[in-house]
Structure 1
Amino acid sequence: MSQETAPDGSRFVHFQNRDIPLSEVLPYSQSPLNPSNLNPSALKRELPDHTLAWRTGSDGMPQALKLSVVRHWGGWSLLPVLTAILLCFMLKEPLTALLGGLLVGSMLIGQYDITQILVNSIGQPGSAILLILYLWLLGGLSGIWGKTGAARAFARFLSHHCVKGPVSAKLVAWTLGVLMFQGGSISAVLVGTTVTPVADQEKISKEELSYIVDSTSSPVAVLLAFNAWPGFVQPLLVVSGVSFLATESDRLKFFFQCLPLSFYAILAVLGTFLLSIDKAPFIGRQMKTAIKRARTTGQLSAPGSRPLASREVDTASENYQPWVLEFVLPLAVLIGTALMTFWLRGAPQILWAFSAAFILAGGIALVRGMGLNDLIGGVVDGLKSVVFGSVIILLAVTMGHISQQTGGGAFLVSLLSERLLSVYWLLPALLFGLSIVVAFSTGTSLGTYAVVFPLAMPLAWSLTLGLGLEESSAWLFMALCFACVLNGAVFGDQTSPISDTTVLSALCTGCDLMDHVRTQLPQAMAMAAIATVLWTLVAFFGCPQP
Structure 2
Amino acid sequence: MKKRNAKLIFMTMFLIIMSSVSVFAAEVDTAVVNADKFGILTLLPPVVAIILAFATKNVILSLVLGVMSGGFLLNLNGVNILSALFNSFLDLVNRAVNSLADPWNAGIILQVLAIGGVINLVAKMGGAKAIAEALAKKAKNARSAQLITWAAGLLVFFDDYANSLIIGPMMRPVTDKMKISRERLAFVIDATAAPVAGLAIISTWIGLEVGLIGDGFNSIGVNTNAFSVFLNTIPYRFYNILILGFIVLTSVLLKEFGPMREAELRARRGNVNLTSSKEIDEKISNEHSDLEPLPGVKLNIWNAIIPIGILIVGSLFAFYYSGYTTILGGDDATLIELLKNSPLSFVSIREAFSNADASVALFQSALFAGIVAIVMGTSKKIFNISQGLEIWVDGMKTLVITCVILICAWSLSSVIKELGTARYLIQLLSGSIPAFLLPSIIFVLGGIMSFATGTSYGTMGILMPLTIPLAHSINPEMSYIIVCISAVLTGSIFGDHCSPISDTTILSSMGAGCNHIDHVRTQMPYSLFVASIAILFGYIPAGFGLNIYLILPVAFLVMFIGIQILGKSVDIDENEECLTA
Q: TM class by shorter-chain length?
A: 0.7 to 0.9
1:227 aligns with 2:203: yes
CA offset at residue 240 of structure 1? 6.3
Q: 1:186 to 1:331 in 2, by over 3 A?
A: same
- What's 1:535 paired with? 539
1:493 aligns with 2:458: no
- What's 2:480 paired with? 477
Distance 2:276 2:392 in 1: 42
**Within-5 A mapping of 1:19-30:** none
Residues 445 and 491 in structure 2, CA contact (< 8 A), matched pair in contact too: yes
1:299 aligns with 2:272: yes
- What's 2:325 paired with? none
1:436 aligns with 2:447: yes
Q: Specify the SS of the correspondent of 2:464.
A: helix
CA offset at residue 230 of structure 1? 3.6
* Partner deviation per Cα, 1:358-399 (whole Å, 9 max, x = no partner): 222111111112322332332233223223333333323322
Distance 2:121 2:142 in 1: 32
Given candidates 223, 229, 238, the residue that maps to 1:263 is 238
Q: Specify the SS of the correspondent of 1:163.
A: coil
Given residue 476 of structure 1, which amino acid in structure 2 is its aligned partner? S
Distance 1:463 1:264 in 2: 24
Given residue 523 of structure 2, which amino acid in structure 1 is its aligned partner? Q
Residues 84 and 98 in structure 1, CA contact (< 8 A), matched pair in contact too: yes
* Partner deviation per Cα, 1:140-177 (whole Å, 9 max, x = no partner): 112212321221122112212x1212222222211111
Q: Specify the SS of the correspondent of 2:446.
A: helix
Q: Specify the SS of the correspondent of 1:277.
A: helix
Between 381-390 and 404-413, the greater mean CA deviation after superposition: 381-390
Residues 305 and 515 in structure 1, CA contact (< 8 A), matched pair in contact too: no
**Within-5 A mapping of 1:61-460:** 71-72=34-35, 73-110=38-75, 111-112=87-88, 113=90, 114-135=92-113, 137-160=114-137, 162-237=138-213, 238-239=216-217, 245-247=222-224, 250-279=225-254, 283-301=256-274, 307=280, 309-311=283-285, 312-313=288-289, 314-339=291-316, 341=319, 343=349, 345-347=352-354, 349-369=361-381, 370-420=383-433, 423-460=434-471
Residues 79 and 104 in structure 1, CA contact (< 8 A), matched pair in contact too: yes
CA offset at residue 528 of structure 1? 0.9
Residues 30 and 418 in structure 2, CA contact (< 8 A), matched pair in contact too: no
Q: Specify the SS of the correspondent of 1:164.
A: coil
Q: TM-score, normalised by structure 2?
A: 0.75
CA offset at residue 96 of structure 1? 2.5
Alignment RMSD (CA, Å)? 3.1
* Percent of paired sites with the same residue: 29
Residues 83 and 100 in structure 1, CA contact (< 8 A), matched pair in contact too: yes
Residues 231 and 252 in structure 1, CA contact (< 8 A), matched pair in contact too: no
Distance 2:24 2:200 in 1: 45
Given residue 447 of structure 2, which amino acid in structure 1 is its aligned partner? I
CA offset at residue 447 of structure 1? 1.3
1:502 aligns with 2:505: yes
Distance 1:251 1:304 in 2: 45
Distance 1:442 1:408 in 2: 23
Distance 2:148 2:512 in 1: 14
Distance 2:268 2:482 in 1: 44
Residues 204 and 300 in structure 1, CA contact (< 8 A), matched pair in contact too: no
- Equivalenced residue count is 474
* Partner deviation per Cα, 1:43-82 (whole Å, 9 max, x = no partner): xx9992369xxxxxxxxxxxxxx99957433211111111
Distance 2:24 2:192 in 1: 50
Q: Which has the higher contact order (CA 8 A, sep 6+)?
A: 2
* Partner deviation per Cα, 1:285-330 (whole Å, 9 max, x = no partner): 1011111111113332359998574223244222432321010112
Residues 126 and 231 in structure 1, CA contact (< 8 A), matched pair in contact too: no
CA offset at residue 183 of structure 1? 2.2
Q: TM-score, normalised by structure 1?
A: 0.79
Distance 2:253 2:212 in 1: 40
CA offset at residue 263 of structure 1? 1.1
Distance 1:408 1:241 in 2: 11
Q: 1:519 to 1:118 in 2, by over 3 A?
A: same
Q: 1:151 to 1:117 in 2, by over 3 A?
A: same
Residues 166 and 202 in structure 1, CA contact (< 8 A), matched pair in contact too: yes
Between 311-320 and 451-460, the greater mean CA deviation after superposition: 311-320
- What's 2:517 paired with? 514
Residues 290 and 302 in structure 1, CA contact (< 8 A), matched pair in contact too: no
Distance 1:446 1:46 in 2: 34
- What's 1:16 paired with? none
Q: 1:124 to 1:294 in 2, by over 3 A?
A: same
Give the number of the structure whose residues are more often strand, by fraction. Answer: 1
Q: 1:147 to 1:372 in 2, by over 3 A?
A: same
Between 484-493 and 386-395, the greater mean CA deviation after superposition: 386-395
Q: 1:304 to 1:354 in 2, by over 3 A?
A: closer
Q: 1:25 to 1:523 in 2, by over 3 A?
A: farther
Between 338-347 and 431-440, the greater mean CA deviation after superposition: 338-347
Q: Extract structure 1 runs of 4+ deviating beyond 6 A.
A: 240-243, 303-306
